[in-house]
Amino acid sequence: MAIKMPGRRPPRSAEEFVAEATALPTPPRQDLPWLDPRVRPDLRVQVNTKIPEPLALKYSYLAMRLGMRKQDAMEAALSSWAAGQLKALGLPDDEG
């Protein structure tokens, strides 16, 4: 059985060769989990965490004072923090 070799590329001009050789390499693509097309913005995910009591009391007081649900106050705080961190890292914050 004969081994089939891949076809040869057509010869390139000297300009094309130099342009390809001196081109900057493309940066590796980052797989950012929040940009995955399977991520559903309507799906609510529970996050359990322990925070210091004074912070919990401030958070509870502010949510009550602003007429917000605690869940909405926490989501606003986390969204703001995450957006700032992503911006500092130069990453996209597209939420779909």
- Say if residue 58's pLDDT is above 50: yes
> What pLDDT does residue 96 have?
46
- Residue carrying the six token digits 């900057």: 24
73 by Cβ neighbours in 10 Å (0-12 / 13-18 / 19+) ranks as middle
Kindly report, residue by residue over 13-35, the tens digit of the pLDDT.
888 877 777 777 766 667 889 98
